[in-house]
Chain A
Amino acid sequence: DSGVTQTPKHLITATGQRVTLRCSPRSGDLSVYWYQQSLDQGLQFLIQYYNGEERAKGNILERFSAQQFPDLHSELNLSSLELGDSALYFCASSAAPQYEQYFGPGTRLTVT
């Protein structure tokens, strides 16, 4: 158990809908990262937050947004969902940006 929690574990929704994925980092970790993993794209870095502030952006679509709240939990919002958004979404946390990341179990999103 990494100490990082993600909810929900599974999510099935229709195209055009909007969903919110939630992540709670390990106790004491200030950095939160979001990743998308699909079969043909590998592990894609989406966005990173450190103590509530956005630190780095990867290949995150404009339809996607995220934030980190004062209690350090983070949410990833995915809107206008398309079939291609079906993937496993991981959250990870670390003590600071250059430190090792601890990954949550992931949220499997299926868009039908």
Chain B
Amino acid sequence: AQKVTQAQTEISVVEKEDVTLDCVYETRDTTYYLFWYKQPPSGELVFLIRRNSFDEQNEISGRYSWNFQKSTSSFNFTITASQVVDSAVYFCALIPNSGGYQKVTFGTGTKLQVIP
């Protein structure tokens, strides 16, 4: 069985602060894919990043960065110098690559509120 845990239900930060959203996963598969999605108040989910289990390099995209650590089964997401537009619910997700079975598992989401 696989599981994705986002222990932080809600986070509030003041604009320009840095914030890290945690994601811890469990899977028996050696090959898998991890994702982050953003759901702003408008409701539509937006893809942010995809990472495969063989690539542990951290990634930076503007103010966003991701820290993938296989040793701790974590794929954390950091927003630097947060802005009000970052206010959203963020979901972490896992897809295994085990033959034909590729059920996606989403975490419960972390609601981020950036206060101006």
Q: Which residues of A approach B to under 8 Å, CB–CB? A: 2, 33, 42-43, 45, 48, 55-58, 88, 90, 92, 97-106
> Which residue among B43, B91, B97, B105 has the maximum number of chain A CB atoms within 10 Å of its CB?
B43
Q: Are B108 and A42 in contact (CB under 8 A)?
A: yes
**What residues of chain B lie closer than 8 Å to A88, measured between beta carbons?**
43
- The verdict on B115 contacting chain A, using a C-beta distance below 8 Å, is no
Contacting pair A42 B43 (CB below 8 A): no
- Measuring CB to CB, which residues of chain B are less than 8 angstroms from any residue of chain A? 33, 35, 37, 43-47, 50, 52, 91, 95, 97, 100-106, 108-109
CB nearest neighbor in B for A43 = B106
Instruction: State the main secondary structure of chain A at its contact with B.
Output: strand
| Least CB separation from B107: chain A residue | A42
A2-B44, A56-B104, A106-B44 are contacts. A97–B109 as well, Cβ < 8 Å? no
Query: What are the 10 closest A-B residue pairs judged by CB atoms, nearest first?
Result: A56-B103, A103-B45, A97-B102, A100-B47, A42-B108, A100-B50, A43-B106, A98-B33, A105-B44, A45-B104
